[in-house]
Structure 1
């Protein structure tokens, strides 16, 4: 069975999707639509902007989403998912690919999400850190023991967990995790504490937009970050998407469940190859490849 997976923030690079734009009328139309919906020339920034311009949250999230969904669309008849999943932001791409969300609706939600997260980041200094070489339960226990807000945010693969929260609490957790034997515990260059309770203002803002957006019955199940299991009910998909901002991304568990349900090949749709690497670490026998437009 083919599992199509969609990357999140951090996978972006200048020039991504230019080949699609140059060789596909569908892609050209979608990029132009995006410029109109967002109210600025995101196509120009994606193709010609600096790494710093592309790193702005209001640009990054729609940019990665665009690359992923346009690539899935131009694959045409060869795009035959038995199941889909996305890492954080990538879940929105997955929901367009499996026909739960319309392109225009999803792009508006992604843009709202990016701006709401940016606003939440500005309210309180916060950060994230990558922790390597420790079992999940040790990281969870250390976070629970630290004063202030710090939680497990991204379960990326065994031995690789990202924590998120208030700056002081994350720094304290990093020191304690090193004492417990972490190979590395280092702060990440991010704008704030994604997938933590500090994103509550953003979750509330996005919830209203999600509630008023039509969700259809998908063509195949989505394995969501919050629940990790196959979901096909539009109302359940909606609920999980709302809680995604303050809940951890359970990528390890999602991939394990996809494998249990019969996934044998994982095809990454979008920029970079980060997810392929994570899948291999979660299930070494899985076949992975990048989606390609000929």
Structure 2
């Protein structure tokens, strides 16, 4: 049976995530301990205890990637399963790349710390944000974004999560102004998210340029198939990765398109570190998604692949 590995992005963090992997998997424990030493950061405190850093972008991104990789290590410790494809939602693409051999695990954890810093730097002076829009067709949201741009407002389609759910990014004031526009067009809901960055839109151009400079020296020349957020197609070498990841911060996440693109070639999905994408997948595919967010979840996965 063919599986696809999927990895969550920012917003999936919670206090205590990864604790069951740390306590019950020697590989997961070693990864967290080595990451703490490598990054000079107490990851046990960041992940397992109440603290204000967990919701700061540069630390959030490290915590989520580390947690996903700990879940991956815990599963691999019990069964040698490989993915036909691996993909992530936004930040999750970096976790996917690491598990497919594109990055050293410690390097990618340090990298996303800088990614978060660069994103925050671009958005700190412009009051950026994101809004989820429910119940509208893609083309309606896209047309409203174009209308906003023609009026001098910064609003962009950022995440295509599933049919009827798109996240838009831009300036908070512009998003708030357009809330009624989305609702008047028939949206069931248009709600500002608790985010201070505008991911996957042109407002992050400088962050994207800075990130590519950090990527170049640590990306491996070749790796196994990863499906790009940018074009929903698989790639597996450094040159492709540099081109696609340079666009990843400034173009929308094509998550639902990515799942649809590979769905006929896989039998089931495994989400590492959370159960956020499992919920989206239920609205995209009839294939089963197994969420590995705690050590006990491995038992259900083992029943499928043994």
User: Structure 1-normalised TM-score?
Assistant: 0.94
Please tell me whether the aligned partners of residues 72 and 79 of structure 1 are also in contact (alpha carbons under 8 angstroms): no
Q: Which residue of 1 aligns with 2:304?
A: none
The reply to whether residue 264 of structure 1 matches residue 267 of structure 2 is yes
CA distance in structure 1 between the partners assigned to 2:156 and 2:219 by the alignment: 32
Please tell me whether the aligned partners of residues 20 and 293 of structure 1 are also in contact (alpha carbons under 8 angstroms): no
**What SS does the aligned partner of 1:268 have?**
strand
Please tell me whether the aligned partners of residues 62 and 107 of structure 1 are also in contact (alpha carbons under 8 angstroms): yes
TM-superposed CA distance for 1:293, in Å, is: 4.1
The reply to whether residue 149 of structure 1 matches residue 154 of structure 2 is yes
Larger displacement relative to structure 2 (163-172 or 183-192): 163-172
Q: Which runs of 5+ in 2 are unaligned?
A: 300-306
CA distance in structure 1 between the partners assigned to 2:207 and 2:283 by the alignment: 32
The reply to whether residue 222 of structure 1 matches residue 226 of structure 2 is yes
TM-superposed CA distance for 1:10, in Å, is: 0.9
CA distance in structure 2 between the partners assigned to 1:118 and 1:38 by the alignment: 19
TM-superposed CA distance for 1:75, in Å, is: 1.6
The reply to whether residue 248 of structure 1 matches residue 243 of structure 2 is no
Please tell me whether the aligned partners of residues 58 and 114 of structure 1 are also in contact (alpha carbons under 8 angstroms): yes
C-alpha RMSD over aligned residues: 1.5
User: Structure 2-normalised TM-score?
Assistant: 0.90
Q: Which residue of 2 aligns with 1:136?
A: 138
Q: Which residue of 1 aligns with 2:43?
A: 42
Q: Residue by residue, what CA displacement relative to the aligned partner does 1:230-251 show, whole Å, maximum 9, x if unpaired?
A: 2123311222112111111110
Q: Which residue of 2 aligns with 1:231?
A: 235
TM-superposed CA distance for 1:177, in Å, is: 1.1
Q: Which residue of 1 aligns with 2:32?
A: 31
Q: Residue by residue, what CA displacement relative to the aligned partner does 1:191-242 show, whole Å, maximum 9, x if unpaired?
A: 12111111112111111101222324223x1111012012123311222112
Aligned pair count reads 289
Q: Which runs of 5+ in 1 are unaligned?
A: none
**What SS does the aligned partner of 1:123 have?**
coil
TM-superposed CA distance for 1:32, in Å, is: 1.6
